[in-house]
A and B are shown apart, each in its own frame.
Chain A
Amino acid sequence: MALLEVRDLTVVFQRKGEEPFRAVDGVSFDVEPGQTVGLVGESGCGKSVTSLAIMGLLPKRGAKISGTVKYDGTDLLKLSDKEMRDRRGRDLGMVFQDPLSSLNPVVPIGLQVTEVLERHRGLSRKEAMIEAKNLLDKVGIPDPNRRLKEYPHQLSGGMRQRALIAIALACRPKLLIADEPTTALDVTIQAQILSVMKELVQDLGTALVMITHDLGVVAGLCDEVNVLYGGKVVEKAMRHKLFAEPRHPYTHGLLASIPRLDAAPGEKLTPIKGSVADNIPWEHGCAFAPRCPNALDVCVQVTPPEEDQLGRLLRCHNPVVPGTPAAEEVPV
């Protein structure tokens, strides 16, 4: 049994006087200890809502959550608020995109780390201070003794993100959810943070759910990749398989549309047409169909089912034949 089993997770936002909005629509995935699973997609694909739903951080009112999120056999969605609070920080750690707004600005970093240690691991103040120092050291913060006394605004963005990871790791959670942890950082700092996370997974056997829009980050870090579009997983495969042979036209198009550092000179980019505003609802076919170069008439009539193709899950009526170059839209 996997450490985390997400089955058919669906989140529907209902605002008064508006159509209900399915932000996440039947997402399923497993995470094993020591494994990194990536959720990739652009803004509005439901990747962040998925992570918030797993952590029980969505507002009770307005968001209807269904499906199951089994952590070590218990369904997190069925736990009370108090039980969930106990789990967060102890079993489940989370790292957010914006480290400044996720840290308390008026409390020194040290206290924010020791607080978690005292609360969840029952350490004394003294033990907690020593442990906090070790944690900061582990995530690569120089001169931790001094940093412990400083406030978040005195740290740089990269250091703040490290501090946030240190807090998330304070209780040695078995599962860490990282929501765009490096998006706000520069690439050289991103490389530092990613290497810290990689070490954690390798050395401590932490299970990591990596949420990002950056396919490059996914390619280097994740074992299994889930590509999300319009709230559904449209393609799921191990990373080598996915990047070598993207089958869903969205995955395929995404890879063809990003400039690669190692591309040959003069290579053209092939953009995906339109924007997410052009999506159609999943009930009426495939959300991606209006933007899809491979779309057939059936794509706007029947919701494509999820099919298992030799260890790859695919939700598409007309997948890309391996080896096809990315095609610009054929004029209709």
Chain B
Amino acid sequence: MSETLVSVQDMKVHFPIKRGVFIDRTVGYVYAVDGVDLEIKRGETYGLVGESGCGKSTLGRAMLRLNEPTAGKMVFDGQDFSALKGEELRKMRRRIQMVFQDPLSSLDPRQSVESILVEGLRAHDLDKGKESTSKRLRELLSAVGLPSTALRKYPHEFSGGQRQRIGIARALALEPDLIVADEPVSALDVSVQAQVVNLMEELQEQFGLTYLVIAHDLAVVKHISDRVGVMYLGGLVEEASAEDLYAEPLHPYTRALLSAIPVPDPVVEDRRERILLAGDLPSPANPPTGCRFHTRCPWRQASRCDTERPVLRELKPGHKVACHYAEQIRSGEIQPHEVKPILVEEGDGLSPDVPLVGPASVTEALNP
């Protein structure tokens, strides 16, 4: 089955930067997500990878309409999800669920596990009778590998991995079609991460779920995803199947990213050649002109790179890249050169390390 479940079209999320005491004046925008198109097929796992500040989480939240997108739309199962309002939107939310990064903060500390799981059922009138609900809760817990004694417990009484299972059970309760998982394992201990990754894979098989996994850890994304999109400063720079992306990264940024990830094997590590990127991520409030990556790109050319923004184009079947010179880089015609790091202005008080979680946090970060 290769039918499209989700189609994101030219999605943009620009957070206004506001200044002023009484009346907030907009003095600029943070271009957190700046024109992203992507498609997710039913039953597949789409991995969205990028470094902090690249807009991957904001994109995920905009798709769920937890942030309102500035422009663009998301079509979910043939329906324009971005145009839904009020009750319609609320009802539709059942089919798109989310798993959060921090399993403790995403669970209300005052709710017992039972009430956390029942809440979603109740919101969508799936809470039919005491008996059937309690049976459903037991099923959910056993699906995520927790004993039914967990029902009466509170989130703070569990370990990190167990909490994430509760978060997954909550998403699962509504029998969604799509689960958006934002950094689902990065807050967990290394030995526990694999438990959650494996659980997500099992559940996908069992319930025919579609995943959008957002993470900074390319190794995790590569392991869990069928297709991977790489984001840099608000835009997709490359999209390919997980194998293809690793075997032949076409965008200079993807190359650098792949070469930077340490592999737990000294033999591999000693042989590897690193492409060290110069300098920092430019501020998303003041992105570079042309190709967003040209300020740090070792393959940068004299023409086009700083003037014309490359579009995502298909270079090989199923492998898209946004680079003017992708063919020449691939063939070795263009060789990398030294890049002088450019000062990144932090004068706005906005650091690219501040994850862009929502409009409030951004404007607050901008108004010290």
Direct contact of A and B (CB under 8 A): yes
CB-CB under 8 A from B143, the residues of chain A are: none
Contact of A156 among B159, B342, B346 (CB under 8 A): B346
Q: Which listed residue (B192, B193, B256, B341) contacts A188, Cβ 8 A?
A: B256
Q: Which of B35-43, B168-176, B259-267 lies at the binding interface?
A: B259-267
Interface residue? B103 (CB, 8 A): no
Q: Please tell me if the beta carbons of B223 and A272 are within 8 angstroms of each other in the complex.
A: no
Whether A260 touches B219, Cβ cut-off 8 Å, given contacts A156-B352, A157-B351, is yes
- A186 engages B51 (CB within 8 Å): yes
Closest to A195 in B: B276
A253 to B189, CA, bound (A): 13
Q: Is A121 interfacial (CB-CB < 8 Å)?
A: no
Q: Is the CB–CB distance between A263 and B266 below 8 Å?
A: no
Bound state CA distance, A192 and B260, in angstroms? 9
A273 to chain B, nearest CB (A): 8
Bound state CA distance, A243 and B353, in angstroms?
Answer: 33
A73 CB to nearest B CB, Å: 32
User: For the complex, what is the distance from the CA of A316 to the CA of B138, rounded to whole Å?
Assistant: 39
Q: Are A261 and B246 in contact (CB under 8 A)?
A: yes
> Which residue of A187, A214, A275 contacts B192 across the interface (Cβ within 8 Å)?
A275
Q: How far does the alpha carbon of A207 sit from the alpha carbon of B52 in the complex, in Å? A: 32
Interface residues in B313-368 by Cβ distance below 8 A to A read 340-344, 346-347, 349, 351-353
Shortest Cβ distance from A185 into B: residue? B353
Q: How many residues of B contact A (CB 8 A)?
A: 58
- Among A165-213, those with CB < 8 Å from B are 184, 186-192, 194-195, 213
Q: Is the Cβ of B189 less than 8 Å from the Cβ of A258?
A: no
Q: A291's closest neighbor in chain B, by CB?
A: B191
Contact with B along A139-173 (1 / 0, CB 8 A): 01011001000000111111100000000000000
Chain A residues, Cβ within 8 Å of B222: 259, 261
Contact of B259 among A158, A191, A255, A270 (CB under 8 A): A191
Interface size on A, residues (CB 8 A): 56
A122 located at the interface, meaning its Cβ lies under 8 Å from any Cβ of chain B in the complex: no
**Could you tell me the distance between the alpha carbons of A82 and B341 in the complex, rounded to whole angstroms?**
41
Chain B residues contacting A216 (CB-CB under 8 Å) are 261-264, 269
Of A191, A192, A239, the residue contacting B266 (CB under 8 A) is A239
Q: Which residues of B contact A146 (CB under 8 A)?
A: 343
A153-B349, A156-B346 as given contacts; A272 in contact with B260, CB under 8 Å: no
* Nearest CB of chain B from residue A329's CB, rounded to whole Å: 11
Query: Could you tell me the distance between the alpha carbons of A263 and B263 in the complex, rounded to whole angstroms?
Result: 10
Q: Give A143 to B343 CA distance when docked, in angstroms.
A: 8
Inside 8 A of B265's CB, which chain A residues have their CB? 219, 243, 260, 262
User: Once the chains bind, are B260 and A191 in contact (CB under 8 Å)?
Assistant: yes
Is B279 in contact with A142, judged by CB distance below 8 angstroms? yes
Most chain A CB atoms below 10 A, which of B219, B267, B342: B219
A264-283 at interface with B (beta carbon < 8 Å) = 265, 267-273, 275-277
Within the complex, the shortest CB–CB distance from B255 to chain A, in Å, comes to 11
A154 & B346 in contact (Cβ 8 Å cutoff): yes
Beta-carbon contact of A262 and B347 below 8 Å: no
Task: Check: B289 CB closer than 8 A to any chain A CB.
Answer: no
Q: Which of B195, B263, B276, B344 contacts A260 (CB 8 A)?
A: B263
Which residues of B247-281 are within 8 A (CB) of A? 256-270, 272, 274, 276-277, 279-281
| B166 contacts chain A at the CB level, 8 A cutoff | no
Is residue A84 within 8 Å, beta carbon to beta carbon, of the partner chain? no
Q: Mark A102-128, 1 if CB is under 8 A from B, else 0.
A: 000000000000000000000000000
Given contacts A42-B190, A268-B198, contact A258 B347 (CB under 8 A): no
Complex CA gap A214/B189 in Å reads: 10
List A contacts of B274 (CB < 8 A): 191, 195
Interchain CB contact under 8 A, B257 and A276: no
Docked-complex contact B269 and A186, CB < 8 angstroms: no
Judge whether B18 is part of the interface by a CB distance below 8 angstroms: no
The closest CB in chain B to the CB of A190 belongs to B260
C-alpha spacing A273/B198, complex, angstroms = 12
Q: Can you report 8 A-B residue pairs in the complex whose CB atoms are below 8 A from each other? A: A142-B279, A142-B340, A188-B276, A191-B259, A191-B276, A219-B268, A261-B246, A262-B246
Which 7 A-B residue pairings sit nearest by Cβ, starting from the closest? A216-B262, A271-B194, A259-B223, A220-B269, A257-B194, A191-B260, A186-B51
Known contacts A186-B52, A253-B191, A263-B223; 15 further A-B pairs (Cβ under 8 A): A42-B190, A154-B347, A156-B344, A187-B51, A188-B260, A214-B190, A239-B266, A240-B266, A244-B267, A255-B264, A258-B219, A259-B224, A262-B263, A271-B198, A272-B192
